[in-house]
């Protein structure tokens, strides 16, 4: 791991190191590697609002007991102080890649209520489910991720086909088309990130996409992008967004994206 990364967010990395230690206690000798993707890997991490995005790879599928212990670990420590989003995949799932991808275990704050209910009822539901987002997470990991411990990234993760990555990011893009008024900062930065990738093939963080948008989109959208970017990086400032400004920018990017992708 790069030294400048560990010094930039000292307390964040201490937390990551502790989560790694506790994960290893549960997974033991089956762990192949522990990897970071997302904003912490790409330099756009905001300690006040960003998730810590993790992928953990194991030699074999997780047992039910190990899943139970992982549930308890993340219920206890996610958001104390940083929220965690993590997926566990085994070697076979990566070597025999499919999209959407299967996985062994997932935790994010969206799953907290479900896991709390299962623990209360003493019932652990093992569903065979797949995650459309993993194509995007693995692509970001492959190109810009950090190996905290274990085998090097490119020895573990496949190079996800471009069509799978686009399918993954376009799913989120479509959700944001509907929800930009409800979540203007996330959705606008996501629009820019998708547009930049389709236009130039750049895999970026939300912060980087906002900065690119200020440089490359028409002047009439700069005020909105500036507010969005500042709202993302500066927790202390609050901005009011007019419906029309959000929809104008959304529709501009939607039209541009349609030139590259026929799924919207």
* pLDDT tens profile 160-181: 999 999 999 999 999 999 999 9
Position 2 scores a pLDDT of 47
Position 263 scores a pLDDT of 55
Query: Please, which residues have CB within 8 angstroms of residue 256's CB and are 6 or more apart in sequence?
Result: 195, 199
Position 124 scores a pLDDT of 67
What is the average per-residue pLDDT within 70-89? 97
Position 76 scores a pLDDT of 97
153, 145 in Cβ contact below 8 A? yes
Query: Is residue 212 over pLDDT 60?
Result: yes
More confident residue, 196 or 122: 196
What is the average per-residue pLDDT within 68-86? 96
Residue 66 banded pLDDT, cuts 50, 70, 90? very high
Residue 122 is classified by DSSP as: T
Q: What is the chain's Cα-based Rg?
A: 19
Query: Please, which residues have CB within 8 angstroms of residue 52's CB and are 6 or more apart in sequence?
Result: 12, 15, 16, 19, 36, 38, 40, 82, 83, 84, 85
Closest CA to 30 of 107, 104, 96: 104
Distances (CA, A) of 88 to 135, 194, 198, 227: 14, 25, 28, 36
Partners of 146 in beta bridges: 36
Compute the distance between CA of residue 170 and CA of residue 197 in angstroms, rounded to an integer.
11
Summarised one tens digit per residue, pLDDT across range 226-251 is 999 999 988 666 788 999 999 999 99
Is 0.85 topped by the overall pTM?
Answer: yes
142, 154 in Cβ contact below 8 A? yes
The 3-state DSSP class for residue 221 equals helix
Summarised one tens digit per residue, pLDDT across range 129-141 is 899 999 999 999 9
Position 119 scores a pLDDT of 83
Mean pLDDT of the chain: 92
Least confident of 44-48, 100-104, 121-125: 121-125
The four Cα atoms 162, 164, 165, 171 give a dihedral, to 10 degrees, of: 140
Query: Is residue 205 over pLDDT 80?
Result: yes
Diameter over CA atoms, the chain: 57
173, 190 in Cβ contact below 8 A? yes
Structure tokens at 167: 């399918």
Position 121 scores a pLDDT of 73
Position 4 scores a pLDDT of 44
What is the average per-residue pLDDT within 57-78? 96
For residue 162, whether the previous peptide bond is cis, meaning omega lies within 30 degrees of 0, is no
Return the percentage of the chain with pLDDT > 90, whole number. 84
Q: How far is CA 47 from the centre of its chain?
A: 15
Compute the distance between CA of residue 31 and CA of residue 25 in angstroms, rounded to an integer.
10
Compute the distance between CA of residue 69 and CA of residue 121 in angstroms, rounded to an integer.
16
Q: Is the dihedral of CA 179, 127, 83, 166 positive or negative?
A: negative
The 3-state DSSP class for residue 58 equals strand
Residue for token digits 């909105």? Answer: 224
Query: Is residue 5 over pLDDT 80?
Result: no
């Amino acid at each position: 791991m790069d030294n400048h990364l560990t010094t930039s967010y000292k307390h964040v990395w201490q937390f990551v190191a502790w989560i790694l230690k506790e994960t290893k206690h549960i997974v033991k000798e089956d762990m192949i590697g522990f990897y970071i993707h997302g904003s912490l890997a790409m330099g756009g991490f905001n300690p006040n609002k960003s998730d810590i995005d993790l992928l953990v790879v194991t030699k074999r599928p997780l047992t039910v007991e190990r899943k139970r212990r992982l549930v308890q670990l993340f219920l206890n420590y996610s958001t104390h102080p940083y929220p965690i989003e993590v997926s566990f995949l085994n070697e076979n799932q990566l070597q025999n890649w499919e999209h959407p991808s299967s996985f062994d275990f997932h935790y994010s704050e969206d799953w907290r209520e479900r896991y709390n209910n299962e623990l209360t009822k003493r019932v652990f539901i093992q569903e065979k489910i797949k995650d459309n987002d993993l194509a995007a997470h693995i692509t970001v990991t492959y190109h810009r991720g950090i190996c905290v411990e274990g085998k090097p990234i490119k020895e573990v993760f496949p190079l996800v086909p471009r069509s799978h990555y686009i399918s993954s990011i376009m799913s989120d893009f479509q959700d944001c088309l509907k929800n930009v008024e409800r979540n203007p900062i996330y959705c606008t930065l996501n629009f820019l990130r998708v547009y930049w990738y389709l236009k130039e093939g750049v895999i970026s963080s939300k912060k980087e996409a906002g900065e690119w948008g200020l440089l490359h989109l028409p002047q009439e959208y700069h005020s909105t992008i500036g507010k969005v970017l500042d709202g993302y990086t500066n927790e202390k400032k609050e901005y009011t967004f007019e419906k029309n400004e959000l929809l104008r920018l959304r529709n501009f990017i939607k039209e541009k994206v349609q030139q590259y992708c026929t799924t919207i």
